[in-house]
Structure 1
């Protein structure tokens, strides 16, 4: 691991903010790193308000979108809510459809099949709308590049409203309205919304025309918070407000479908991390293993018995997904070893029987193990399909562009992409991808980096500091959990490997005679010899609370030791 200490803000600014907020300088230091430099900004950071949300009509085309939906309702038209099969898409579809259906009956939902239709708006989906008498499609979390699909729909007298958050191409589809804060000509003040967030802004705009307030819409924020966490968008600005209040809903009065999921995992207070690792994978599993419509059905269900049945079904999908993901990961790791490819700059593996729904997860697992740009291929029809994942700081989308002559089609962004190619091009592509990465990557990016917010002395770690740090939540991109570094630590002699195969490291440390504090390092069990015989060592860690038999104590959640 590379440890990189973030630049320290100016001392004058630290002291001024610490004085203004009546907090320790360490807290002011952390706030300044997160772009909080005044009392007013700190107030918004620690006490997000629904009134901080922007006027939805500031988004380009919002007025047109609302007018077209109102016209559809007054003309008794059938409206189809269409969305992608991942968490962001299915939550967006559940949100917009359940809101509209609360006062208008002619609403249906459509999620494309991951395997027969693929990502985004499909011709098959438009044919379904045409065959079933739909004259308006609202596409969410997809559609901003669907130029030919929107044209096809026009020929069948079907209008499109697009609500997307992906970067548009050079040309926009000829839809009635294209809601996308990343449009060059859109002056909406915050452009990091997820697809479900854009759907929520559409609902907010519609509701305002009916005299409803933002408080009336808070029950929908559990869906938005889940999408924000799952889609890994920055938890800053408007997303922070939406995630903050969405988590409150999840923990106090979640929708019936969430109640059914939470009841199965028997978890009480959920953080955004729990949402990402408990709720999101289950919603995703539907589209990976069976069909994304199962997730929409669960999220829209209001009868607890029925929701419990749906949740049990989705739990089965998730269990199957986990088994497959583990099995394929083991096969892929073995393939890398058998081919003696550990020393390459890339990992590219292929087996025609691997399940297309989990190759993205497997690519992420391989990246964790070998830490290099990774592609996992499987057979899809008469072509090969792959999921790509990258390491921090390296643009895998650009690298794929450098191999475009071997590829049929590809799409995605900096750290994750998908592609298809002809089987006879596989070996050629594999060598070209290796060459492009080798020539363009900074070799130090092949060593994982830990970003350290600040050095700390153990005596600075107090219950008061922990209380303040908990108020930094919800954490995510743009506001990650603070990571500290401490030097000259010594284990008190009780340090040991724990867990299965002693994979984890449990320590009790002091620094220059300070009060001992416990620590746990997941998957750091192999470093137990570094702390033996009370040898001094340095550590990077975040702060955590350990609850044991009703007692709560502070502990270090170790990231790495040297």
Structure 2
């Protein structure tokens, strides 16, 4: 990811709101959110329903309320026309309940995603006219229904549009439009569809309808609108209402989801919202509205069970389509989807394609449009999701001519287009994206609000941060940065697909959980200095509460050493290697390389950047390895060598060993190595190799002669130091290599490597051992 450090340590938290008992971290978070005076802090930390804006500041509200009251007085039939997502279902529930409580003869209609598509349509309006409806009120939809508004006028139906989606070039000719973005005098323009419906209910009843706040929380959180200003107030109180709701539908959903205790924005986003959305993704969404409107607990339980089953079916369909779409991407060599992904197939369920698009965007870090093809109609229908740097709405409006229908936001959209226009859409959006975006734009970004010192981090501080909730768009859950040595890292989960870290500093420890990052286990050396970013929370286990960080991304900025010395089956311990950047290092080339990698020797010169070196055997000298490290400066080194008959286990004989053996030769005159070597070794408690080694050193120095295994003293030996013997030098060198590279601790080994991974080039000094 792109890590964006959004904070500055220059903020003088001591002088910021000194009368408030807040930690420096919380003060910094408020400052970043532009909450910088006492009133703003009060409104942020202690929201009040009194902070809600007057609904009549919204254009069209007075005309709408007057028309509805007239309809109630004249006993007209009112139809609420909703949408099939969680916001639309919630908005429909709020509008229907508010109208019925005011005495209206009211029903609702949600179009079928598969047979009618998104938004109002002529057939539905004509059917409503046949059934005697004279007033239609849309919720969470309608701002693009120009043709349908003309149909309503033709039929003599008054059409009131309440919506929150982006306004297009032409507004429908409706009786009234209630929309924050068409109301210059309304202080907040980012309400969800259910928020607009709630403001209507407030205007109609003349008071704040507290009993509808539970629905407002669901739709506002699920629709990912900004949780600032009025939305923050609505969700703050809406979550409390949801947690304590006596609505049978909510209680049934809580039971089917296994929700105990208070409901948070995360509960809505990951458990309640997806289940409501699942209904409209696979069939008519009316059962979801029925669930929220029913007063019968038994009916609510049956509807909740049906909805839960639909959600499980939806999950399987999404997984299957995502797998097909990813294979299309992996197999695509054309480059046509380089900047914007546009994929489609006959038979893909249009109801789940937004979720699939989200998965593709997250995996490939680029905007994605996923379409279901209908050859019979000659249409492609689907959904799109985008990255931060690419505004879908603005860019799709530049190619509006390729669509039959289009609507949405900067990051999400839905569309229908002729099949023959799919290639044109792909080509034009890719061209626009390549003109606007840089390589960095195609990486996911994460804004970081602060760096944490684990020594001072406490559960009290995390609890204080949680007071900034509800978190969401516009008020994201804070992401924090830590940089500490790891005490350990290990894989967890039944499939070993998650990681658990333990960071340490001066005796203080912090656990970190990284979901879905299990495949990084072989890429992180246990003692590396790791940087991580994530969300802070409190882990409760067996009555103990301690801070932990839920990790979103990690990085290691320094080179890493992976210690697999002496291990067998090293292929299983190594990550997926790249034969263009990773090299097997061999010092004694016997023609056998256990890895499918290019081989690097001490004489090799590699011009390209080296990522990893896998050391498969020990060098003859430390200088040889130092030269390789200094020449290539790898990011990772894997020590995979073994020792079978090491010099270190057969220690270098001492000076006394040599003196005694020479004195013995002088006394005896000669010695038969083959006949008496083992006997002498046993009597002295030496190994036979020690006798052999001393003899070879003396031979090198011309102290003795050896013929057919018989060793005798040279009559006129010259005076030489032991270190002048080639055999002694080789033994000494091998001993030092094994001591330094094989029998050292991990920290000692890492320290030795560090010297040669730096820019300077220190020399390798052999240990000095005097002769006799």
Q: 1:405 to 1:148 in 2, by over 3 A?
A: closer
How big is each residue's C-alpha offset from its partner over 1:466-509, in whole Å with a ceiling of 9 and x where there is no partner? Answer: 1111111100111111111122x12213x201114321111111
Query: Does residue 260 of structure 2 align to residue 265 of structure 1?
Result: no
Match of 2:343 among 335, 338, 349: 349
User: Counterpart of 1:35?
Assistant: 34
User: Counterpart of 2:485?
Assistant: 490
User: Counterpart of 1:92?
Assistant: 91
Query: Does residue 297 of structure 2 align to residue 313 of structure 1?
Result: no
Aligned 1:229-268 pairs, distance under 5 A: 229-268=221-260
Q: State whether residues 240 and 263 of structure 2, in contact with CA within 8 Å, keep that contact through their aligned partners in structure 1.
A: no
Q: State whether residues 81 and 137 of structure 1, in contact with CA within 8 Å, keep that contact through their aligned partners in structure 2.
A: yes
Q: Which moved more, 1:455-464 or 1:73-82?
A: 455-464
Query: Does residue 379 of structure 2 align to residue 396 of structure 1?
Result: no
Query: Does residue 362 of structure 2 align to residue 364 of structure 1?
Result: no
Give the 3-state SS of the residue equivalent to 1:532 in structure 2: coil
How big is each residue's C-alpha offset from its partner over 1:389-442, in whole Å with a ceiling of 9 and x where there is no partner? Answer: 111121133433454554444332221222333333333443343333223222
How big is each residue's C-alpha offset from its partner over 1:53-84, in whole Å with a ceiling of 9 and x where there is no partner? Answer: 11111111211111111111111111111111
User: Counterpart of 1:111?
Assistant: 110
Q: CA deviation at 1:369?
A: 0.9
Q: CA deviation at 1:92?
A: 0.7
Query: Does residue 550 of structure 2 align to residue 557 of structure 1?
Result: yes
Q: Tell me, which stretches of 5 or more residues in structure 1 are unaligned?
A: none
TM-score by length of 1: 0.94
Q: State whether residues 166 and 409 of structure 2, in contact with CA within 8 Å, keep that contact through their aligned partners in structure 1.
A: no
How big is each residue's C-alpha offset from its partner over 1:352-371, in whole Å with a ceiling of 9 and x where there is no partner? Answer: 01111111111111111111
Q: State whether residues 279 and 285 of structure 2, in contact with CA within 8 Å, keep that contact through their aligned partners in structure 1.
A: yes
- How far apart are the structure 2 equivalents of 1:172 and 1:404? 16
Query: Does residue 367 of structure 2 align to residue 373 of structure 1?
Result: yes
Q: CA deviation at 1:305?
A: 0.5
Q: State whether residues 92 and 289 of structure 2, in contact with CA within 8 Å, keep that contact through their aligned partners in structure 1.
A: yes
How big is each residue's C-alpha offset from its partner over 1:516-556, in whole Å with a ceiling of 9 and x where there is no partner? Answer: 12110111223334543322111112101223234332211
- How far apart are the structure 2 equivalents of 1:220 and 1:151? 32
User: Counterpart of 1:292?
Assistant: 285
Q: State whether residues 286 and 317 of structure 1, in contact with CA within 8 Å, keep that contact through their aligned partners in structure 2.
A: yes
**RMSD of the alignment, in Å?**
1.9
Q: State whether residues 78 and 104 of structure 2, in contact with CA within 8 Å, keep that contact through their aligned partners in structure 1.
A: no
Give the 3-state SS of the residue equivalent to 2:455 in structure 1: helix
Query: Does residue 441 of structure 2 align to residue 445 of structure 1?
Result: yes
Q: CA deviation at 1:7?
A: 3.9
Q: 1:165 to 1:337 in 2, by over 3 A?
A: same
Q: 1:552 to 1:58 in 2, by over 3 A?
A: same
Q: State whether residues 459 and 545 of structure 2, in contact with CA within 8 Å, keep that contact through their aligned partners in structure 1.
A: no
- How far apart are the structure 1 equivalents of 2:406 and 2:143? 16
Q: Which has the higher helix share?
A: 1
Q: State whether residues 256 and 299 of structure 1, in contact with CA within 8 Å, keep that contact through their aligned partners in structure 2.
A: yes
Query: Does residue 508 of structure 2 align to residue 509 of structure 1?
Result: no
User: Counterpart of 1:2?
Assistant: 2
User: Counterpart of 1:533?
Assistant: 526
- How far apart are the structure 2 equivalents of 1:408 and 1:307? 38
Q: 1:56 to 1:431 in 2, by over 3 A?
A: closer
Query: Does residue 474 of structure 2 align to residue 478 of structure 1?
Result: yes
Q: CA deviation at 1:103?
A: 4.2
Give the 3-state SS of the residue equivalent to 1:112 in structure 2: coil
Q: CA deviation at 1:296?
A: 0.8
TM-score by length of 2: 0.69
Q: 1:528 to 1:490 in 2, by over 3 A?
A: farther
- How far apart are the structure 1 equivalents of 2:179 and 2:192? 10
RCO (CA 8 Å, sep 6+): is it higher in 1 or 2?
Answer: 1
- How far apart are the structure 2 equivalents of 1:299 and 1:454? 41
- How far apart are the structure 2 equivalents of 1:56 and 1:244? 19
Decide which structure has the larger Cα Rg and report it.
2
Q: Tell me, which stretches of 5 or more residues in structure 2 are unaligned?
A: 556-772
Q: CA deviation at 1:254?
A: 4.5
Q: State whether residues 508 and 518 of structure 1, in contact with CA within 8 Å, keep that contact through their aligned partners in structure 2.
A: yes
Q: 1:470 to 1:306 in 2, by over 3 A?
A: same
Q: State whether residues 33 and 475 of structure 2, in contact with CA within 8 Å, keep that contact through their aligned partners in structure 1.
A: yes
Q: State whether residues 160 and 177 of structure 1, in contact with CA within 8 Å, keep that contact through their aligned partners in structure 2.
A: yes
Q: CA deviation at 1:16?
A: 2.3
User: Counterpart of 2:24?
Assistant: 25
Q: State whether residues 339 and 434 of structure 2, in contact with CA within 8 Å, keep that contact through their aligned partners in structure 1.
A: yes
Give the 3-state SS of the residue equivalent to 2:237 in structure 1: helix
Give the 3-state SS of the residue equivalent to 1:11 in structure 2: coil
Aligned 1:42-61 pairs, distance under 5 A: 42-61=41-60
- How far apart are the structure 1 equivalents of 2:141 and 2:329? 35
How big is each residue's C-alpha offset from its partner over 1:184-236, in whole Å with a ceiling of 9 and x where there is no partner? Answer: x530111111111000001001111xxxx32xx21211110111111111111
Q: CA deviation at 1:18?
A: 4.6
Q: 1:403 to 1:177 in 2, by over 3 A?
A: closer
Aligned 1:274-289 pairs, distance under 5 A: 274-289=267-282
Q: Which moved more, 1:354-363 or 1:115-124?
A: 115-124
Q: 1:409 to 1:179 in 2, by over 3 A?
A: closer
- How far apart are the structure 2 equivalents of 1:10 and 1:533? 34
User: Counterpart of 2:156?
Assistant: 157
How big is each residue's C-alpha offset from its partner over 1:74-97, in whole Å with a ceiling of 9 and x where there is no partner? Answer: 111111111111111111111111
- How far apart are the structure 2 equivalents of 1:550 and 1:226? 32
Q: 1:160 to 1:473 in 2, by over 3 A?
A: same
The number of residues matched between the two structures is: 551
User: Counterpart of 1:201?
Assistant: 199
Q: Which moved more, 1:299-308 or 1:165-174?
A: 165-174
Q: State whether residues 219 and 255 of structure 1, in contact with CA within 8 Å, keep that contact through their aligned partners in structure 2.
A: no
- How far apart are the structure 1 equivalents of 2:393 and 2:161? 24
Match of 2:185 among 184, 187, 203: 187
How big is each residue's C-alpha offset from its partner over 1:246-284, in whole Å with a ceiling of 9 and x where there is no partner? Answer: 100111125211111110111112210110111111111
- How far apart are the structure 1 equivalents of 2:380 and 2:123? 22
